[in-house]
Amino acid sequence: AAPRYRYYQNACTQSYSYAWWDWARWEREIDWMALSGINLAPAFVGQEAAWQRVYRSLGLNQSETDAYFTGPAFLAWNRMGNLHGWAGPLPPAWHLKQLYLQYRIVERMRSLGMVTVLPAFAGHVPAGVLRVFPHVNATRLGGWSHFDCTYSCTYLLDPEDPMFQVIGTLFLKELIKEFGTDHIYSADTFNEMTPLSSDPAYLSRVSNAVFRSMTGADPKALWLMQGWLFQHQPDFWQPAQVRALLHGVPLGRMIVLDLFAESKPVYLWTESFYGQPFIWCMLHNFGGNHGLFGTVEAINHGPFEARRFPNSTMVGTGLVPEGIEQNDMVYELMNELGWRQEPLDLPSWVTRYAERRYGAPNAAAASAWRLLLRSVYNCTGVCVNHNRSPLVRRPSLRMDTELWYNASDVYEAWRLLLSAGAELGSSPTFRYDLVDVTRQAAQQLVSDYYLSIHQAFQSHALPDLLTAGGVLVYDLLPELDSLLSSHSLFLLGRWLESARAMATSDQEAEQYELNARNQVTLWGPSGNILDYANKQLGGLVLDYYGVRWSLFVSALVESLNSGSPFHQDQFNQAVFQVERGFVYNKKHYPAVPAGDTLEISRKLFLKYYP
């Protein structure tokens, strides 16, 4: 029989994709989950309201909880103890709206037969806890991912401290009273953070404390844990440390998500998580970046190899992208594999996929998909899908233009899709895919122009630099922006509008919009995780990426004209002002598409097809 669980959602998706969702959007997603056979998924919305109640009941004041919660676009990392306070606080109306959503989410998920996973206490506490309980034993962890202690370095309670059980059980009882329970809970104590000690006994005490605080509220509790930490810091998590953390919990009372199994499976080097059940997960996407990408061979074989592994404890498959609304095909494929007993014949699967997706058979569209399957979707080896295209990265003279596939396959797929336009043009999925493939072709072209700019600069050829730079900044990027602006799913305005729609006052609307803008650009006050969550959206390409490229080309021209060397540090300072300026520019971006996708794609094709 197929493994029991088909899991969906990543802790980060809550912020990168779902941050501003209303009930109508949640309802669509939950319907899609049901249609796809998903039967296990987190219900994390509204937990801050419960935390606020718990902290207030313990004696913390409002300013202390305000200083703890991040803004709405960054809550995923607040919940994992990575960040506090950044882009916050959370207005009272936020808590109310999120609670209301959560009631409906758990009700709908359960009515469709899904097991909901609720959040639990992982051991991180606000600084206010130390004021109210001065004798509590808590230690600060280090800074997370280029953040210093202003917004990071969370306090972690000692596992032996009695408050660990008090807080953990109090919170879970509060949640269960509010939302009922399906007895599975999620907690991540050391997500991308180094524990205070590598002593196996200490690590066992921590996981045991987390688990005990769950069973204190629900004797039947099962702990669902992301296994990301083991492959993220393999130097720390040696076999002894992994075993200690996993064995702090009775065997069978924990389910580990092998989170990046398609590229860096952990079950292989941990004897199948030392006996704890695990779910084979495809991560696939980081930061919700656009960019055609997939590891189809790895996902077509990986789950079956994991099931055949000696003493395998695999209990399911999962989809855990950091961001959604990209590369639909890969998720449809993975969903199907959750039901299969053996690998699929991929070329014939993708041919049928094209027909299902567009509602009619079309030879050109099918050929396009077979080309995409063998190229962009067939990354092999250890593939980590951060979009590093020069298009979406801060310009420099050392940019990454490497591809794992043959660029000509994408250009040819573009030509084939365009040729199917007359027959399939009325299909909304076809129009979406045409934007996506044209966007990918344009992304490749940006790399070509970047290389020409680089070459011209190195050989002091000012006319060539002006030509390549001029085409990129004044034609290619504006054309790409107008292509993206022709489809609602590629609009910056839609993201900003959905953020503002969550607000109940102008002040909230302003805060939420700044949250939304910062996340997809600077990701932090000073570009701490710059462009990690890059998107290719109409409005963003022109006013953010385009302005950066314009500044870069000008700086190179200036350098050749004056004979003074180009200084990356000076440029970075100047370009930071541009990036920051975009976050605060208050410009209104339309949330409604404009222009004809097919026409714009054809125009780009006639101008740029190599």
- Which pair of structure tokens corresponds to residue 325? 């609304």
| Alpha-carbon distances of 158 from 196, 207, 257, rounded to whole Å | 10, 11, 25
Rounded CA separation 584/517 (Å): 8
Nearest to 122 by CA among 168, 87, 63: 168
> In 397-545, which residue ranges form alpha helices assigned H by DSSP?
407-419, 421-424, 428-458, 462-471, 477-484, 492-501, 506-520, 540
List strands edge to edge, sheet with 138-140.
Answer: 124-125, 155-157, 138-140
- Based on the fold, state whether residues 178 and 211 are members of the same structural domain: yes
Q: Is residue 103 part of a domain?
A: yes
CB 159 within 8 A of CB 209: yes
What pLDDT is stored for residue 104 in this prediction?
98
- Based on the fold, state whether residues 282 and 414 are members of the same structural domain: no
What pLDDT is stored for residue 1 in this prediction?
55
Q: Is residue 593 part of a domain?
A: yes
- Based on the fold, state whether residues 335 and 378 are members of the same structural domain: no
Q: Is the dihedral of CA 331, 333, 338, 339 positive or negative?
A: positive
Count the Cβ atoms, other than its own, within 10 Å of residue 312: 18
What pLDDT is stored for residue 501 in this prediction?
98
Rounded CA separation 594/456 (Å): 36
Q: Is residue 397 part of a domain?
A: no
What pLDDT is stored for residue 2 in this prediction?
61
Q: What is the pTM of this model?
A: 0.97
What pLDDT is stored for residue 174 in this prediction?
97
- Based on the fold, state whether residues 245 and 365 are members of the same structural domain: no
- Based on the fold, state whether residues 301 and 366 are members of the same structural domain: no
Q: Is residue 261 part of a domain?
A: yes
Q: Is the dihedral of CA 200, 203, 209, 211 positive or negative?
A: negative
Rounded CA separation 452/309 (Å): 49
**Parent domain of 328:** 5-339
Q: Is residue 525 part of a domain?
A: no
CB 213 within 8 A of CB 164: yes
CATH number of the domain that residue 148 is part of = 3.20.20.80
Q: What are phi and psi of 185, to 5 degrees?
A: -130, 150
CATH number of the domain that residue 383 is part of = 1.20.120.670
Sort 104 into a burial class: Cβ within 10 Å, 0-12 / 13-18 / 19+: middle
CB 9 within 8 A of CB 315: no
Q: Determine the Cα angle at 488 with ends 485 and 492, to 5°.
A: 60
Q: Is residue 292 part of a domain?
A: yes
DSSP 6-56: EEE--TTHHHHTSTT--HHHHHHHHHHHHHTT--EEE--TTHHHHHHHHHH
Q: What is the CA radius of gyration of the chain?
A: 25
CB 120 within 8 A of CB 184: no
- Based on the fold, state whether residues 564 and 429 are members of the same structural domain: yes
- Based on the fold, state whether residues 432 and 461 are members of the same structural domain: yes
What pLDDT is stored for residue 381 in this prediction?
86
Q: Under 8 Å CB-to-CB from 493, ≥6 apart: which residues?
A: 538, 539, 588, 589, 590, 591, 592
- Based on the fold, state whether residues 328 and 415 are members of the same structural domain: no
- Based on the fold, state whether residues 272 and 188 are members of the same structural domain: yes
The total of structural domains in the chain comes to: 2
Q: Is residue 399 part of a domain?
A: no
Rounded CA separation 191/319 (Å): 19
- Based on the fold, state whether residues 274 and 368 are members of the same structural domain: no
Q: Which residue type occupies 427? A: S
- Which pair of structure tokens corresponds to residue 409? 């396959």
Write b or e for each residue in 489-522: b if 16 or more Cβ atoms lie within 10 A of its Cβ, otherwise e. ebbbbbbbbbbbebbeeeebbebbbbbbbbbbbb
pLDDT tens digits for 463-514?
A: 999 999 999 999 999 999 999 999 999 999 999 999 999 999 999 999 999 9
Q: Which residues of the chain have pLDDT under 70?
A: 1-2
What pLDDT is stored for residue 115 in this prediction?
98
Length of the chain: 610
- Based on the fold, state whether residues 335 and 361 are members of the same structural domain: no
Count the Cβ atoms, other than its own, within 10 Å of residue 61: 12
Write b or e for each residue in 582-595: b if 16 or more Cβ atoms lie within 10 A of its Cβ, otherwise e. bbeeeeebbbebee
For the chain, the distance separating the N- and C-terminal CA atoms, rounded to the nearest angstrom, is 49
Q: What are phi and psi of 318, to 5 degrees?
A: -150, 155
Q: Is residue 528 part of a domain?
A: no
- Based on the fold, state whether residues 303 and 376 are members of the same structural domain: no
Give the start-end residues of each E strand in 63-104.
none
Q: State the SS3 of 429-468.
A: HHHHHHHHHHHHHHHHHHHHHHHHHHHHHHCCCHHHHHHH
Rounded CA separation 160/134 (Å): 16
